[in-house]
Amino acid sequence: MAAARVLARGVRLGSYSIGRSRSLTFSGVQRRGIAACVDPSIGLTDEQKEFQKVAFDFAANEMAPHMAEWDQKEMFPVEAMRKAAQLGFGGIYVNPDVGGSGLSRLDTSIIFEALSTGCVSTTAYISIHNMCAWMIDTFGNNEQREKFCPDLCSMQKFASYCLTEPGSGSDAASLLTSAKLQGDHYILNGSKAFISGGGDTDVYVVMCRTGGKGPKGISCLVVEKGTPGLSFGKKEKKVGWNSQPTRAVIFEDCAVPVTNLLGAEGEGFNIAMKGLNGGRINIGELFHNFDLKPF
Ligand SMILES: Cc1cc2nc3c(=O)[nH]c(=O)nc-3n(C[C@H](O)[C@H](O)[C@H](O)COP(=O)(O)OP(=O)(O)OC[C@H]3O[C@@H](n4cnc5c(N)ncnc54)[C@H](O)[C@@H]3O)c2cc1C
């Protein structure tokens, strides 16, 4: 039965066929062991319970049955993610005027926690994609928001977050990828490591150095796939998490229009950390899923 769902703030999260073959009532009675005494909907508003259920249903019906195949065959499940986007999960905390669902960070956590019961790896990528869409929505000007966000929210296009480099992981402020202004373009040189979605995604939110050493010399540029000078390393071998590719992203005299600068020069590190403030919560939520999974 198709049930049109209108969720928080009047945002339609789409239509979804609710599976009848299994009960998704989280009364606690249906789950076993210690986890059975925790009802994941306790303390949630009616709206939150509603979209939590939509996410649990999606996880059970559209992700869990395919998770093993996605992992074994290293498939990036584009179509499944686009279905998730039809429910509003492509831009959960992005503003509605550019196609987002306009929900809060708490609402977002509830959704990712539920989605991860279907596939942690895919949900982790969706959370990174959401983070990138939010960064463009929040720090971009209207032109940038209108250019990138609608396609990201519908997941017609996919995004990657590019901070880590071969020589800078935890110490991200020491990154070396340079962006030199030349006319109306920045010329990027350097490389990023371990980029989720790298090579398969369309929009790269890249932290790069436009100024001196340290965090204040870092800016944030949106680089589109197909830009000359942008290339990718080989797919990394991983244990699990294979439904999202991980590759190096390489810039060799890659000319990016100045109109793709998010915020002002020197604001990139702040933008990157604000993105991660939400991103870290989202990733943390993915690992609660064992307690929540309906048996
Ligand atoms: C599957 C996967 C996907 C990823 N996706 C992305 C992505 O999409 N975008 C992106 O930008 N990055 C991504 N990363 C990179 C990830 O963010 C980095 O691996 C992380 O920041 C750590 O950096 P590092 O690997 O260089 O480790 P290091 O920084 O070298 O750290 C190694 C160890 O030393 C510890 N350590 C570091 N500094 C200190 C210190 N000062 N004091 C005490 N202990 C310390 C760390 O806690 C860690 O245990 C991904 C990584 C993986 C594995």
Distance CA 185, CA 189 (A): 13
- Tell me the whole-structure pTM to 2 decimals: 0.88
Q: Whose CA is nearest to atom 23 of ligand 1?
A: 169
Residue spans per domain, the chain: 2-156+280-292, 159-265
Answer whether 2-156+280-292 and 159-265 agree in fold.
no
Provide the CATH number for the domain formed by 2-156+280-292 in this structure: 1.10.540.10
Note the CATH architecture for domain 159-265: Beta Barrel (2.40)
Q: Whose CA is nearest to atom 24 of ligand 1?
A: 169
Q: How far is the CA of 86 from the centre of ligand 1 (A)?
A: 33
User: What pLDDT, on the 0 to 100 scale, is given for residue 289?
Assistant: 60
Q: Whose CA is nearest to atom 30 of ligand 1?
A: 169
User: What pLDDT, on the 0 to 100 scale, is given for residue 292?
Assistant: 58
Q: Is the per-residue pLDDT at 174 higher than 60?
A: yes
Q: Which is it for the CA torsion 272, 198, 225, 73, positive or negative? A: negative
Of 74, 7, 19, 64, the C-alpha closest to 236 is: 74
User: What pLDDT, on the 0 to 100 scale, is given for residue 279?
Assistant: 72
Predicted confidence (pLDDT) per residue in 8-56, tens digit: 343 444 444 322 233 333 333 344 444 445 678 888 999 999 999 999 9
Ligand 1 atom nearest the C-alpha of 236 is 1
Distance CA 61, CA 51 (A): 15
| Confidence at 94, pLDDT banded by 50, 70, 90 | very high
- Mean pLDDT computed over 129-140: 98
Q: How far is the CA of 6 from the centre of ligand 1 (A)?
A: 39
